[in-house]
Structures are given as structure tokens and as C-alpha cells.
């Protein structure tokens, strides 16, 4: 890729972010929170996230620290890993034993994947990113409340009509920092945008 193409891409991104700044201001987000929200709007072209995306007071600081420490990210779907090629992302939903457990227990593969991640200790101290499966978020909540998992940060942005809004409302009471997209909207692009924003913030602050 030529430097000219890269420079053109950067100019377009900068102009897009400037447009978002102009159209949303004024807002109540802090200096470290707004870049996360703005990146989500940039990824989705949906200004409603300026109203529905909520961040726990410690979410940005904890997320930046976790990514700087190269903490593992556990995702509910593989598409999140595809959007974060430079980060350590694990997704267990396709594992054969996860499918077997889901059939035996009568639960979704997404929920069974969270259970396996907890058994392996993958959820402790890392980031959990849920962009598609409300059942994964509900199972994560159960694990955290049972003290079977203690993630550093939960990115709770599943999209959907059945259980999505309800699972995210419940996530706002988790005893760990969270980032939640309230309502039905969310998805893989939102989860990826949040984590990319945290990674960029960490790099900028370390420079």
C-alpha cells in the first residue's frame, strides 16, 4: 500500500471524526470517554450511540491498562477476532466440546463457551467482548455474580430483539467495569470499535 493511499485514508478518517465532533457537540462525555463513543459512531454511522452508549466510570482506564498489559480478550463470536488482528482474542464457540455441552445442558453454544472460558481461567483479569449473543452476556453475569469469573472489563454490546436490551440493562449492575450499548442496537462493529478506541488511546497516551 503506497504512502499516498495511506495518507488519503487518514485524511478521510480525520474529516469523518471532525464531522462527528461538530454534529454531536455539546455532550457530557469525558475527554477519555468521547474517543470511544466517537469511534463507535464512526464505525456505524449511527449517532444514536451518543445517547445509548454508557461507560462505567473506571471502564476506559481499566480497558487501557488491560490492553497495555496484553491481556486476553474473550469474544462471543469469531468476527470480533477478525476485526482485532493485533490483539490477543480468544473465541471458544466453535469448539466441539462447547457444542456437546450446549446440547447436554440445553443452553446456547455462546453460553457454553463462556462456561468453558471460566473453567480455563480465561475470563479473569482480561476483557470480555460480547457483540452478538445475549445468552453469553447473561451467562457471564451469572459467572461473575457466583465469583467464578472476574474480568477486568466487560464490553456488553449484543445486538438483537430477544434478550439483548434486557441483558445489557442487567450488565450495568455488574461489580466490574463495563461498557454497555443500551437498547437493541450493537453488534460486532460496535465491540470492535470500542476495543480499537481503547487500544488507540493507550498508544497515544504512551507516546
Angle (CA) 104 115 174, round 5°: 135
42 catalytic residue (yes or no): yes
Name 205's Cβ contacts closer than 8 Å, sequence gap at least 6.
64
Marked catalytic residue, from 39, 42, 109, 182: 42
What are residue 154's DSSP bridge partners? 128, 178
- For every residue of 27-77, DSSP letters joined together read ----TTTHHHHHHHHHHHT-TTHHHHEEE-TTHHHHHHHHHHTT--EEESS
Residues with catalytic function: 42
Amino acid at each position: 500500500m503506497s504512502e499516498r493511499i495511506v495518507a488519503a485514508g487518514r485524511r478521510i478518517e480525520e474529516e469523518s471524526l471532525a464531522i462527528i465532533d461538530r454534529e454531536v457537540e455539546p455532550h457530557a462525555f469525558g475527554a477519555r470517554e468521547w474517543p470511544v463513543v466517537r469511534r463507535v459512531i464512526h464505525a456505524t454511522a449511527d449517532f444514536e450511540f451518543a445517547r445509548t452508549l454508557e461507560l462505567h466510570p473506571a471502564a476506559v482506564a481499566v480497558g487501557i491498562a488491560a490492553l497495555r498489559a496484553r491481556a486476553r480478550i474473550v469474544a462471543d463470536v469469531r468476527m470480533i477476532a477478525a476485526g482485532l488482528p493485533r490483539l490477543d482474542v480468544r473465541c471458544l464457540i466453535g469448539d466441539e466440546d462447547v457444542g456437546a455441552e450446549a446440547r447436554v445442558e440445553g443452553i446456547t453454544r455462546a453460553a457454553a463457551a463462556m462456561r468453558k472460558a471460566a473453567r480455563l481461567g480465561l475470563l479473569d483479569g482480561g476483557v470480555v467482548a460480547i457483540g452478538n449473543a445475549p445468552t453469553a452476556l447473561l451467562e457471564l453475569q451469572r459467572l461473575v455474580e457466583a465469583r467464578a469469573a472476574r474480568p477486568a472489563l466487560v464490553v456488553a454490546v449484543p445486538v438483537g430483539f430477544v434478550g439483548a436490551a434486557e441483558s445489557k440493562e442487567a450488565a450495568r449492575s455488574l461489580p466490574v467495569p463495563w461498557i454497555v450499548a443500551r437498547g437493541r442496537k450493537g453488534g460486532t462493529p460496535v465491540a470492535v470499535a470500542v476495543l480499537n478506541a481503547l487500544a488507540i488511546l493507550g498508544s497515544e497516551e504512551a507516546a
